């Protein structure tokens, strides 16, 4: 099969799938409608565990319904992703963020730079070697550009000997196009 340029979210899934192992503990830091949580559950299988967070009860309920038949253990929390360290153990295989707002809901309820950066700090501390951090940034909504800039600066500051960091963005699209930031923790020597 020939390789195709992927949209940022499809690339996020491709990278995460390549890094996650059956039985891993993984996190969906922004549950939304549960699509990434279900993707993660399928990656980790029956021996794995998915931990999810969202500030909106409707998102937790939608995700719970979407995950009802999955084999992985699932722990969903109606709270912000800045609480990640309160619920997630060390040795995470992946942490996925899909920033912005819940589709088809109140667009004034958005992820915020301060809480997102706090969650990223926790994710970095809890990540296992070869684990991956994936963040979809959406600069096109109110507050989105500021958050995207702060998250990108955080990724750029990760130590290069500890992390491999990439940005996936379509350069010939509008400046408000979504983009992916991904960081894989290097293996310990």
Which pLDDT value is given to residue 189? 64
pLDDT tens for residues 49-102? 999 999 999 999 999 999 999 999 999 999 999 999 999 999 999 999 999 998
Which pLDDT value is given to residue 26? 99
Predicted confidence (pLDDT) at residue 32 exceeds the cutoff of 80? yes
Which structural domains are found in the chain, ordered by start? 8-185 (3.40.50.150)
Cβ-based neighbour number of residue 68 at 10 Å: 9
Which comes out higher in pLDDT, residue 171 or 46? 46
**What does pLDDT average to over the chain?**
95
Angle at the Cα of 184 (from 99 to 159), degrees rounded to 5? 95
Q: What are the structure tokens assigned to 38, written together?
A: 């279900």
Which pLDDT value is given to residue 1? 59
Predicted confidence (pLDDT) at residue 164 exceeds the cutoff of 70? yes
Going by pLDDT thresholds of 50, 70 and 90, the confidence category of residue 139 is very high
Predicted confidence (pLDDT) at residue 39 exceeds the cutoff of 80? yes
State the pTM of this model: 0.95
Count of residues for the chain? 189
Helix, strand, coil in percent for the chain, rounding step 5: 35, 25, 40
Helix, strand, or coil (residue 82): helix
Q: What are the structure tokens assigned to 66, written together?
A: 């979407």
Mean pLDDT is lowest, of 127-136, 145-154, 172-181, for 172-181
């Amino acid at each position: 099969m020939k390789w195709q340029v992927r949209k940022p979210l499809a690339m996020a899934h491709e990278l995460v799938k390549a890094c996650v192992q059956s039985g891993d503990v993984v996190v969906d830091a922004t549950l939304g409608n549960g699509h990434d949580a279900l993707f993660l559950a399928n990656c980790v299988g029956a021996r794995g565990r998915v931990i999810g967070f969202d500030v909106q009860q409707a998102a937790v309920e939608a995700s719970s319904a979407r995950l009802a038949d999955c084999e992985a253990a699932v722990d969903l929390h109606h709270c912000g992703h800045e609480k990640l360290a309160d619920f997630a153990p060390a040795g995470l295989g992946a942490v996925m963020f899909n920033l912005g707002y819940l589709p088809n809901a109140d667009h004034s309820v958005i992820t915020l730079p301060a809480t997102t950066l706090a969650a990223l700090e926790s994710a970095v501390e809890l990540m296992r070697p070869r684990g991956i951090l994936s963040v979809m940034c959406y600069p096109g909504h109110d507050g989105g550009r500021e958050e995207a800039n702060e998250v990108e600066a955080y990724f750029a500051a990760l130590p290069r000997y500890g992390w491999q960091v990439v940005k996936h963005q379509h350069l010939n699209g509008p400046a408000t196009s979504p983009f992916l930031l991904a960081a894989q923790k290097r293996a310990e020597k």
